[in-house]
Amino acid sequence: MGIYKNTPEVEVRERRLHSTLFYNGDAQDLIDRSNRKELVCKRGYYGQCSDCSEGCAETQTLFIRDAAVVGHAPIGCSGGSSTQNIMARNVSVSRNGVLHSVKYISTNIQEKDTVYGAAEKLRGAILEADRRFSPKAIFIESSCASGIIGEDLESIASVTSDELGYPVIPVYCEGFKSRLWSTGFDSAYHALLRLVEPAREKKKDVVNVFGFNGSDTFSPLLSKLGLKTNYVAPLASVDDIKHISEAACNTQVCKTLSTYITAVMEEEYGVPEVNAPSPFGISWTDEWLREIAKLTGKEEIVEDVIESEHKRIAPEIERLKKLIAGKRVYVISGDSFCHNLGNILKDFDVKLIGFNALHHDAHPDKEGQKNTLEDLVRDNGNIQNVTVCNKQPYQLVKIIKRLNPDLVIVRHGQVSNAATRLGIPIIFEGDANYSCGYDGAVRMGKRIYEAIRTKKLVENISKHVEFPYTDWWMDEVEDPFVFEGK
């Protein structure tokens, strides 16, 4: 049975990838239990606010250059559209100077719409998006409200698409449908796949890089092999996306983000996926380049490239090692991105003392796809203090307090202050591309030093900040997972 199904929606991760939100143990045990399919996506008795699929879907849809997005939702769901717009402008200008602003309209669902339906309103918003933005495609993002009232997005999309003469595609990202926000990535990719056409020609020197709207750190790396970087989907055009089937191979900044689309692309269009972890840390960057070289006929030059890159960064790595070797670092991030960040640390003899993944997929979408947790253990040995929870600072604050690391690396907003409150400096990994490749590793070393060097501010904050937790929770409860449910 194929991975891609010709249905409006892709199956949520808890059923497709047997993902979990609760775990407390070590890396090897997590691998073993995942392989034995023992993980269950339990429900906590108590918890703190999570994120939703829509928030993840929009990290792709809002950044497609000539596409518009209609949020079929109450106005609160578009709370991120301005920050995404700032990101869009900032990154697009730094990438190639061509400004991209988000093109987003909310249907602003009201109470009466939940009673009588809002199909006409949605149709009107789609036509209004056409008038305001003249896009080449429109994505309709669903919401909890439009999902529960059972709005028929398929037929509205199909009618308006005929009317406008370009694709109008629903993205099913209702928050309540999946407990894993990462399902929203799959929802967006599933919608994008409805745009993709069979290859007109094969471009042997083009590599699709699935990622977020971030710095251009992949093309300096791939250009050394004489290859071109095709970033998907942020800052690609609708036309670019139609033809991603023409690339030599697919890779990604994070396996958690895009193994769904890369698995489908391999199956449906024969575009192979680079069988290596994403290029974070020197060892994985080497491995990644070698695998790409295999798929693009660059095997003859790849070893020279790797050798000269190692030589180039060696002095800086050595200098930084003297400053930060032996420091103890804790990582909080999305599943596979934890492994990416964790794998950089050994380059400076910095110790990964544990990490919390915001969820964990028991297996990738397709047999044979890389499992980066296994790669992490292969290259770094078993990691202790491995937990899974979706943000939940009430738990993290206890874990971090007990481990008392020198530094915390965190990719998600609002979680960082669990560490800040304890006076522990943090590195915020907002730009997913920032630490990739050889230069990314060097940058990470510099940032670790800088964060520890300037920790006076967090120490000052920790002296004056109030914790929202009871003494019972902070001092008497031993197990941070005591509220883990069934």
Partner 1 sequence: MSKYIEQPRFGCALAGQQTVLAIPGARPIVHAGPGCSSKATQFAGAGSGYQGDSVGGGAHISCTNSGEQEVVFGGENKLRNLIDGALKVIKGDLFVVLTGCTSDIIGDDSIQAAKDFAEEGFPIVGTETAGFKGNSYYGHHRVTEAIIEQFIGNVTPNVRKGLVNVLSVVPYQDPFWRGDLSEIKSLLEKLGLEVNILFGASSGGVSEWKDIPNAEFNIVLSPWVGLETAELLKRKYKTPYIQIPIIPVGAERTAEFLRKITEYAGLDKEKTEKLIEKESKVFYNYLTSIGDFVFEFRDNLPVELYVVADSAYAIGVTDFLVNELGFIPMGIYITDDPSEKHRKNIENTFYALSDDLKDTLKFETDGGLIQEDIKKKLNGSRRAIFFGSDWEKFLAQDTGNNFAFLSLPINQKVITNETIVGFNGGAQLIGAAYNSIFNKGAGAVSRRQLDV
Selected binder of partner 1 within 35, 38, 45, 460 (CB under 8 A): 45
Sort 241 into a burial class: Cβ within 10 Å, 0-12 / 13-18 / 19+: buried
Q: 113 or 347, CB closer to partner 1?
A: 113
Smallest gap from Cβ 73 to partner 1, in A, equals: 8
Selected binder of partner 1 within 25, 47, 117, 272 (CB under 8 A): 47
- Binding flag, residue 82, partner 1 (CB under 8 A): yes
Q: Which stretch binds partner 1 (CB under 8 A): 40-48, 251-259, 263-271, 334-342?
A: 40-48
| Cβ neighbours of residue 158 closer than 8 Å, sequence gap 6 or more | 168
Smallest gap from Cβ 186 to partner 1, in A, equals: 16
Of residues 176 through 195, those in contact with partner 1 by CB under 8 A are 176-179, 181
Smallest gap from Cβ 108 to partner 1, in A, equals: 5
CA distance 298 to 279: 17
Smallest gap from Cβ 154 to partner 1, in A, equals: 20
| Cβ neighbours of residue 179 closer than 8 Å, sequence gap 6 or more | 14, 21, 41, 43, 50, 390
Selected binder of partner 1 within 7, 49, 162, 165 (CB under 8 A): 49
Smallest gap from Cβ 294 to partner 1, in A, equals: 40
Sort 123 into a burial class: Cβ within 10 Å, 0-12 / 13-18 / 19+: middle
Q: Is 483 helix (H, G, I), strand (E, B) or coil?
A: coil
Output phi, psi for 318, to 5 deg: -65, -45
Of residues 219 through 278, those in contact with partner 1 by CB under 8 A are none
Residue 423, Ramachandran bin (φ over 0: left; ψ between -120 and 50: alpha; else beta): left
- Binding flag, residue 116, partner 1 (CB under 8 A): no
Closest by CA position to 257, among listed 220, 231, 228, 227: 231
Q: In this structure, how many other beta carbons lie within 10 angstroms of the beta carbon of residue 226? A: 12
Q: Which stretch binds partner 1 (CB under 8 A): 199-207, 306-314, 430-438, 461-469?
A: 461-469
Q: 317 or 461, CB closer to partner 1?
A: 461
Chain position carrying tokens 């061509």: 98
- Contacts with partner 1, 403-442, as mask; x by CB under 8 A: ----------xxx-xx------------------------
Selected binder of partner 1 within 28, 48, 219, 369 (CB under 8 A): 48
- Binding flag, residue 43, partner 1 (CB under 8 A): yes
Smallest gap from Cβ 76 to partner 1, in A, equals: 3
Chain position carrying tokens 């914790």: 467
CA distance 397 to 352: 18
Q: 126 or 383, CB closer to partner 1?
A: 126
Q: 174 or 186, CB closer to partner 1?
A: 174
| Beta-bridge partner residues of 329 | 352, 407
Number of residues that bind partner 1 (CB under 8 A): 72
Q: 58 or 309, CB closer to partner 1?
A: 58
Q: Specify the amino acid at residue 419.
A: A
Q: Which stretch binds partner 1 (CB under 8 A): 68-76, 200-208, 380-388, 451-459?
A: 68-76
Of residues 118 through 177, those in contact with partner 1 by CB under 8 A are 121, 124-125, 128, 132, 143-145, 148-149, 174-177
Sort 132 into a burial class: Cβ within 10 Å, 0-12 / 13-18 / 19+: exposed
- Contacts with partner 1, 374-393, as mask; x by CB under 8 A: -----------------xxx
User: Which helix (H) or strand (E) segment is 352 a member of?
Assistant: strand 351-357
Closest by CA position to 184, among listed 67, 12, 14, 432: 12
Smallest gap from Cβ 103 to partner 1, in A, equals: 8
CA distance 231 to 208: 6
Smallest gap from Cβ 469 to partner 1, in A, equals: 6
Q: Specify the amino acid at residue 22.
A: F
Cα 343–349–354 angle (5° rounding)?
Answer: 50
Smallest gap from Cβ 11 to partner 1, in A, equals: 13
DSSP 355: E
Selected binder of partner 1 within 24, 34, 61, 107 (CB under 8 A): 107
Smallest gap from Cβ 467 to partner 1, in A, equals: 7
User: DSSP per residue over 295-337, as a string?
Assistant: HHT-HHHHHHHHHHHHHHHHHHHHHHHHHHTT-EEEEEESHHH
Q: Report the DSSP pairing between strands 203-210 and 228-232.
A: parallel
Q: Report the DSSP pairing between strands 67-71 and 328-333.
A: unpaired
Of residues 298 through 317, those in contact with partner 1 by CB under 8 A are none
